[in-house]
Amino acid sequence: MTNPGPSELPEMRASDAERERIAERLRDAVAEGRLDMEEFEERLDAAYKARTQGELEPLVRDLPAPASSHAAAPAEQAGWASRIGKQPTSKGAFSFWGGFYRRGTWTVPRSFTAVTFQGGGDLDLREANFEDREIVIRCVTIMGGMRIVVPPELTVDVTGFGLMGGFDDRATGDGTPGSPRVRITGFALMGGVGVERKRRKADKAGKRELEG
């Protein structure tokens, strides 16, 4: 009996660590504007479902090789450190047949409760500061809707649920080193809560200048 040649051997199985390395490169790519959110979500889903190394490699084939993170990490951590430990702007928001929004450089408290009844709400965390490294945002919407926008660099856990409605958890994922952890939870009845990752306007403008 002869041993199988290289072409006959099964392809090497991917490990959890290898899947996570690919996922991290994809997160870097969306933060840098190399991937839009739809491409990022498709590739990230494929990365976590991949069974072999051959399925992982094409997901980052058109992306630059990762640079050494040893010099970048302290700068990222310093950036987050300047946005954590601030005095909270408010503890919650409520709308009834109307709407509310929090945008710009507002400060998110350790615990923030947002409630809408036949109305809408908009929370934008892209330029926000944070009272602590662990943040909980509780969302309750009844026959209404709520939208939460987070930057690609932020660590986010979405754990809410909906009844005759929806609670979008696609933004769940790790951020860059030093990022606060924001847990978004709650309940949607005949309504919806959508959480999406988007770059800051300043980042988009900078990208356009570089491309111009």
> Residue 3: how many CB atoms within 10 A of its CB?
6
> Whole domain around residue 15: which residue ranges?
6-65
CA dist 39 and 22 (Å) reads: 14
Confidence of residue 18 (pLDDT cuts 50, 70, 90): confident
Radius of gyration of the chain (CA): 20
Same domain for 28 and 102, yes or no, is no
pLDDT band at 14 (very low <50, low <70, confident <90, very high): confident
pLDDT, the chain, mean: 82
Residue at 212 is within a domain: no
The model carries a pTM of: 0.61
Structural domains of the chain, count: 2
Same-domain pairing of 132 and 168: yes
Mean pLDDT, to the nearest integer, of 103-131? 94
Nearest to 75 by CA among 153, 151, 173: 153
Query: Are 150 and 46 in a shared domain?
Result: no
Q: Which residues of 20-58 are buried (b: 16+ CB within 10 A; e: fewer)?
A: ebbbbbbbbbbbebbbeeeebbebbeebeebeeeebbee
Asked if residue 72 belongs to a domain, the reply is no
- Mean pLDDT value across residues 35-44: 85
Separation between Cα atoms, residue 189 and residue 72, nearest integer Å: 43
Within a domain: residue 86?
A: yes
The residue written with tokens 């892209």 in the block is 126
* 75 domain residue, yes or no: no
Show contacts of 31-35: CB within 8 Å, 24+ apart: 31/151, 31/152, 31/153, 31/176, 31/199, 33/199, 33/203, 33/204, 33/207, 34/63, 35/63
- 94 and 161 part of one domain: yes
